Amino acid sequence: MADQRLLYFFSAKQPRRPAVIRQILINKRTVSNLFWGLNYQLLSWLAVAPKLEAAYFNQQIELLLQTKALQQTTAGLVLTAAGSQQWQLYQTSDLHYWRQAPQLVQHYQVGAWQAMLALLIQVFSEMSYHNVHYYVNVTDPQLQYWLKRWLQHNPRQQLQAQFVRTLTEFLTTQESPAANIFLNMYSGHQIAGRTLLQLQQQTGWTVAELNCLRTDLSLQLAEKLLREGPAWQALIGLFRKNSLLSASTAITYQAFLNQYPLAKIAQKRQLKLSTIQEHLLEAAIFATDFPYLKILPTKIQQQLITLFRGQTIPAEWNYQVAQQQEISFFYFRLFQIQQLKLRQGRLSIANHN
Amino acid sequence: MLTTTELTRGLKHYFGYDKFKPGQIETLTALARQQSTVAVLPTGTGKSLCYQLYGLLTKQLVLVVSPLISLMQDQVKELKFIGEHQAAALTSMLSGRDKSFVLRHLNEYHFIFISPEMALQPDIMQRFKALKLGLLVIDEAHCISQWGPDFRPDYLQLGKLRQALGQPLTLALTATATPQIKKDICQLLFTAAQPQLVQQSIDRPNIFLAVESTANSSEKNAVLLRLVQQLKTPGLIYFTSRKATEKFARLLTEKTGLSAAAYHADLNQQERFAVQQQFMLGNLDVVCATSAFGMGINQKDVRYVIHYHLPTDLESYLQEIGRAGRDGQQSIAILLYSPEDFERQRQLSFASLPALAELKNYQAATRQQRQILTENELTYQLIDFYAHQGLNIKQQQEMFAQRHQQKASQLRTLQTYLTLTTCRRKFLCQYFGETTEHLKHTAACCQPVGQTFDLRDLNLQCEHVERKASVVLPSYQQLLKKLFADQSNQL
Ligand SMILES: [Zn+2]
C-alpha cells in the first residue's frame, strides 16, 4: 500500500508539484522552492523529513497516482475524492500518529534537545529519590555540563517541581495512546525506557510514526517549558533559534533594515547583487512585517497592480507580462510574495479547501 | 610507590570489592614500579579496573586509546558512576562544539579516552605533548596485529605516538592474544625497553562450550526457539546484521513470550541506554545483539551466549562468549551453525580484502578518482593507507595474499572447532598457546561432536516459566508516579 501520509501535502483545488513538496520536506531552501512552499502553505513543514529519499518519494507518488488517490493535471497533481477520503481515514485512525507541530522542527536542534530532555527526566527522577549514584543516559560532555551549571545556578527543587507539573499538564492535554507511548520512551530511577522497536510491537504503530511522535511531543513540551520562566528560557534557549532565516540572509536583511542600499550591501559583503536580492526574497517569505514599500518603488507597484488586475491567483501570474514593461524579476517576485501573503492572510485558506 | 595495601584499600573504596581478580594486582604492581606492561586478561576479568584504579590513586592524567566509541562512552559512564567526573571521550562522534569544549579543558580531566585516528592528529598530539601524562593505555591492543581479527591500520602508528609523547608509562591491554599477536604488540608498541607481560589463561571454566549443527536455517531457527525456552535467563544472542537482531527480537517475543530487545550500532543514545537499563533492572530475558557492538554496562549474570551466525574467528568468539557468567556461576556458550553459514562467513571475511583488480584500479586512478574511491569503500581505504606507508602495488599484492591465507586459515580453525570430537576447551587453550595438561575434560566441561549435554545437569534449565514481556504499556499516570517520588508533596 502506498504511503498515505503523503496525501496530506496535496489539495483538491490547488495543483501542486511533488518535487517542490519533497524539497520543502528535506529543507532545500532555494528561493523558488520557498516561494512555491509559501504558495502551497506548506512552509511549516520545512526540514521535517531531511532523509526522505527521492527514489522512495517518487515511487510512492507513482503508487498514489496508480490507485487514483492523486490525479495529474497540467499544473501539477491534485487530490481526488478517493484520495481525500483515504486521508480522512488515515488521520482519524487510532493506529497512526500525525505530527501536530511541524513548524517547531525548524526552530530547534532536535537531536540535542531530545537528549537533554531524556537527561532532565532522568536527573529529576533520580533527584526525587535522593539518589546520586546512577549511570547518566546521555554521554555528550557539553549537555552534561550545561545541565550541571544550570542546576547549580537555579533553585533545583523548584525547577524539579515545575518540570513535573508541566510534564503532567502537558501529557494530560495529549491523546492518551500518544501520551502513554511518549513517556514509556524515557528512563528514570529504577525505570527503563523502551526502544522504538519494542514500542512498535506493543502498539502497532510504525517506527517512523513513533519517531515522529517523539520529536513532535518533545518539541511541544519544550515550548510549554519555555513559558515557565527565565531559568527555563535560559536552558531551552540553548537549543532554540528564533529566526528562520539562514545566517547569511539574516545579515543581509539586518543591513537592509538599517537602511543600507542593496548595492552597498553587496559590495560590503562581497556578494553578487542577485544574491542579495535572493536574500531579501527569502526574508520577505519568512518575515511577517517585511517593509515592501521600502524596496518596491511605488511606480512599479502601481504598474504591477494594473498588469495583474483581475487575476486573483498570484502564483499563476506570468512574468513575461511584467518583463515586457521592463520590470525586473526581483520586483515581480517580491510583489507576488506580498500579494500571496496578503491573500492568504485575508482569506485564511485552509490546507484542504 | 603504591603498596599492595594501598591498592587493596583503593579497590574497596572505589569499587567495593575486597579481592582483586587474577591478573589485576600483578598489572597494578608492575605499573606502580613504573614498569610498562602488556596485560592479557580474559573478557570479564576487569581489565579496565587496572588503569581506573591506577589513575584514581595516583591522581595523574590517564590517556586511553580505544578503538570503539561505545566502549569509551561506557568507560566514561562507569567512572562518573563511581564519582570521577573529570572523564571524557574524544571521538569523531562529538560535535565540533563538544570537541572544542573538551580540548579547551584538557588539563582539568583525569581520564581522557580517545580514538586512535584522533590521537594521531598532529594538533591534538601537540596538545597532549604539553600535558604531563601519568599513564598511556592502549586498549584492545591486539588491533595492532595484522594477524589479529580486528586489525586496525591506524593502530600501527601508536608506537610513533608513544615516542612522540616521550615514552610514558604504558599499559597495553587485550583479552585474547595468540603468541604471534603478543609478539606484535611488544615489537610494534615498545621500541626500546621491553614491557612486562602479565597473562591470565583465556579459559573460563564456568562457561560450558557447546556447538549445535543444523541442516538448514529453518532447523536452526527451531533449535534457537527451543533453547531460549529451556535456558535460564538472561541471555545474549549474537547475529551478524542489524536486520537479524530486530527480526529475532520480534520473533522471540511473539513466539515465546520472552522479553527481548534488539541491540545494534544504529540505536540512538536514548534507546541504547534503555536496553542497558532494562537488562540491569532484570526486565529483559534476552538481548539480540550484533557483535560489532560492545554490550555497555557490565551485566554480571548473563547465563548464556548463543551465536546464531558464525563468529569471524576464534579470537572474536572467545571475546563474545566472555560476556557470559561474569558472576562466576555456571553459564553456557552455544554456537549454532548450518552448512550455508560457511559460505556466508567466507564472503564476509574476504569482502574487505583488495583483489588484484582493485589494486590495479587504484594504481590507474587520478588523485581525484582516488579520493572518491577511498571515500566510499573500505577496500580502497586499506589500499590507500598502505600506499601512503610506501608500499607499492606488488608489495601490497603479496601482503594481501598473505592476509587472505591468514583469513582462510582462521576459517579452517573455526571449522575445526565446530567439528571437534575431542575437548573444545583444550583446543581453545592450545590455539592461544597455553598449556593444557591441567585441563580434565568432564561432562561439565564441554560437548564434543556426537555427544549430548543436559541443561539440568548444568543447572541451566529454567525451572518455572516466568515471562517478563508485558503486553500492556503502563499509562503515563502510572509512570509519572514511579518516575518522580513524593510527587504530591511537591505540587
Ligand atoms: Zn572439554
Q: Is residue B308 part of a domain?
A: yes
Q: For chain B of 491 residues, list the mean pLDDT of each consecutive stretch of 10.
A: 91 90 92 94 82 94 89 85 88 80 88 92 90 93 79 86 93 86 89 87 92 94 95 94 94 90 89 90 92 65 95 87 91 94 78 77 83 76 78 81 82 92 95 89 94 92 68 90 75 45
For chains A and B, CB pairs below 8 A equal 143
User: Is B423 part of a structural domain of the chain?
Assistant: no
* CA B70 – CA B333 distance, rounded (Å): 24
**8 Å CB contact of B98 and A190:** no
Cα B423 to ligand 1 centre (Å):
4
What residues in B contact A186, CB-CB < 8 Å? 270, 483
d(CA A154, CA A85): 52
In a domain, B467, yes or no: yes
Contact map slice: B 256-285 vs A, CB within 8 A: 261-262, 267, 269-271, 273-278, 280-281, 283
Q: Do A171 and B482 touch (CB under 8 A)?
A: no
Q: For residue B421, is it within any domain?
A: no
B189 and B299 in a single domain? The answer is no
Q: Residues B323-349, buried b or exposed e (16+ Cβ, 10 A)? A: bbbbeeebbbbbbbbbeebeeebeeeb
Pairing of strands B111-114, B61-65: parallel
- B174 in a structural domain: yes
State residue A42 phi and psi, 5-degree precision: -120, 15
Chain A CA closest to residue B76: A139
Same domain membership, residue B242 and residue B188: no
Domain boundary among B149, B177, B199: B199
Same domain, B158 and B116: yes
What SS3 class is residue B369? helix
Q: Could you tell me the CATH number of the domain that includes residue B266?
A: 3.40.50.300
Contact with chain A for residue B488, Cβ under 8 A: no
Query: What grid cell was written down for B159?
Result: 608506537
Residue B36 domain-assigned? yes
Query: Which residue of A125, A135, A139 to mutate against B (max B Cβ within 10 Å)?
Result: A139
Does residue A270 belong to the interface with chain B, where contact is any CB pair within 8 Å?
no
Q: Give the separation between CA B424 and CA B314, rounded to whole angstroms.
A: 12
Contact A145 B277 (CB under 8 A): no
Of B199, B228, B244, the last residue of a domain is: B199
Q: Which residues of B touch A175 (CB under 8 A)?
A: none
Total residue count of chain A as it appears in this document: 353
Distance from CA of B3 to the nearest CA of A (A): 29
Distance from C-alpha of A121 to C-alpha of A130, rounded to nearest angstrom:
14
The reply to whether B178 falls in a domain is: yes
Looking at B171, B199, B227, the residue that finishes a domain is B199
Q: What whole-number distance in Å separates Cα of residue A66 and Cα of residue A113?
A: 40
From first to last of its 353 residues, chain A has per-residue pLDDT tens of 788 999 999 999 999 999 999 999 999 999 999 999 999 999 999 999 998 999 999 999 999 999 999 999 998 999 999 999 999 999 888 778 899 999 999 999 999 999 999 999 999 999 999 998 888 888 788 898 899 999 999 999 999 999 999 999 999 999 889 999 999 999 999 999 999 999 998 888 999 999 999 999 999 999 999 999 999 999 999 999 888 888 899 999 999 999 999 999 999 999 999 999 999 999 999 988 899 989 999 999 999 999 999 888 898 899 999 999 899 999 999 999 999 998 887 333 333 32
Of all helices (H) and strands (E), which one includes residue A25? helix A18-25
Under an 8 A CB cutoff, do A193 and B273 touch? yes
Judged by DSSP in three states, B263 sits in: strand
Q: Which amino acid is at A210?
A: L
Both B18 and B160 in a single domain? yes
- Residues B46 and B139 occupy one common structural domain: yes
Tell me the C-alpha distance between B450 and B388, whole Å. 51
Q: How many other C-beta atoms can be found within 10 angstroms of the C-beta atom of residue B490?
A: 15
One domain, residues B48 and B168: yes
Q: Are B220 and B339 in the same domain? A: yes
Strand-strand pairing, A76-79 and A70-73:
antiparallel
Residues B28 and B124 in one domain: yes
**Number of structural domains found in chain B:** 3
The answer, for A171 touching chain B at a CB cutoff of 8 Å, is yes
Same domain, B179 and B281: no
Cell matching residue B316: 572474536
Alpha-carbon distance A321 to A240, whole Å? 43
- A194 grid coordinates: 523502551
Q: Which ipTM did the prediction report? A: 0.86
| Ligand 1 geometric centre to CA of B22 (Å) | 22
> For residue A118, what is the nearest residue in chain B, using CA coordinates?
B270
Domain that holds residue B331: 207-343+435-490
What DSSP string runs through A41-89? T-GGGTTS-TT--HHHHHHHHHHHHHTTSEEEETTEEEE-HHHHHHHHH
Query: Cell numbers of B350, please?
Result: 574476504
Together in a domain, B271 and B308: yes
Is residue B171, in this structure, part of any structural domain at all? Answer: yes
Q: How confident is the model at residue B274, as a pLDDT?
A: 92
Residues B183 and B215 in one domain: no
Q: Are residues B405 and B444 in the same domain?
A: no
